[in-house]
Amino acid sequence: MKQEIKKNTPLELNPNVSVDCVIFGFDFDKLNVLVIDRADGTSVPCALPGNLIYNNEHLDQAAIRVLEELTGLKNIYLEQIGAFGDPNRISKASDQSWLQKVRAQPEARVITVAYFSLVKMEDYVPQASSFAKSAAWIPLNNIHELAFDHMEILAAAKRQLKQMINIRPIGFNLLPEKFTLGQLHKLYEAILDKPMDKRNFRRKIQKLNLVKSLEEKQLGVPHKPSQLFMFDENNYQKLMQTGFNNFGF
């Protein structure tokens, strides 16, 4: 517990700044969030994955590192939410005792920079023992308690995702490369948290030219198989160059 603080040099963890990631996944029905279990025998709430940053490390890089350490994934969609710095964010007893265990300076004031990321759930299946700390996909709407101020961060992540989907079509990061319009429709309903008319949604998406249909259909589904689509990166770039910034969902 002795505090040895030396002059800040590279390769050192910075005791005052951390990053936390809200990792969203979509199971074709609802949004899920990847949370880590800090279980130490006693019952403690789950937390968002995160850690202190290194002094020589860019903030974004720290978030990428946390994400890769946890899931092994690279090149995933990442966006900063903002900084959270309530001096009382470490008020719960369970959080304090956890910090005593894992931090060199458990008493230090910490501000955290939150990120949200969008991953294809198929790309990361948590395995019971894949890491020292275990992780799990939890349906967004079932999350009622988290460590520290992570509920607040989660709320901000939801808000920002909802807002951003109107500005850039980032939702495709949550779907596999090939998807159906029905899946895209469900995704938008999950993110915007409201029902949307099927016909109007399809018309709108197709008019925007953001998807291109493949010469391929779903297989093995117990109903009429759907056309498969892909995100059309080219048309998206063209659309952005026109200064488009409002999808009006």
Structure tokens given for 80: 């900063």
CB 148 within 8 A of CB 47: yes
Q: Does 223 bind DNA (CB under 7 A)?
A: yes
Structure tokens given for 95: 């959080």
Smallest distance from DNA to CB 232, Å:
17
Smallest distance from DNA to CB 30, Å:
13
Mark the segment that binds DNA (CB under 7 A) among 57-65, 103-111, 154-162, 213-221. Answer: 213-221
Written as one letter, the residue type at 179 is F
Q: Does 144 bind DNA (CB under 7 A)?
A: no
Structure tokens given for 207: 């008019």
| Options 58, 225, 244, 245; binder of DNA; rule CB under 7 A | 225
- From DNA, its own copies, none, interface partner of 226 (C-beta below 5 to 8 A by class): DNA
Which of 114, 189, 111 has its CA nearest to residue 152?
A: 114
d(CA 181, CA 188): 10
Q: Kindly write out the interface string for residues 167-186 of this chain, putting x where it contacts DNA by CB under 7 A and - elsewhere.
A: -------------xxxx---
Cβ-based nearer residue to its own copies, 105 or 227? 105
| Options 58, 109, 194, 203; binder of DNA; rule CB under 7 A | 203
3-class SS at 174?
A: helix
Residue with tokens 């915007």: 192
Smallest distance from DNA to CB 199, Å:
3
For residue 61, give every residue at least 6 positions away whose Cβ sits within 8 Å of its Cβ, in sequence order, or none. none
Cβ-based nearer residue to DNA, 124 or 179? 179
Structure tokens given for 10: 């590279």
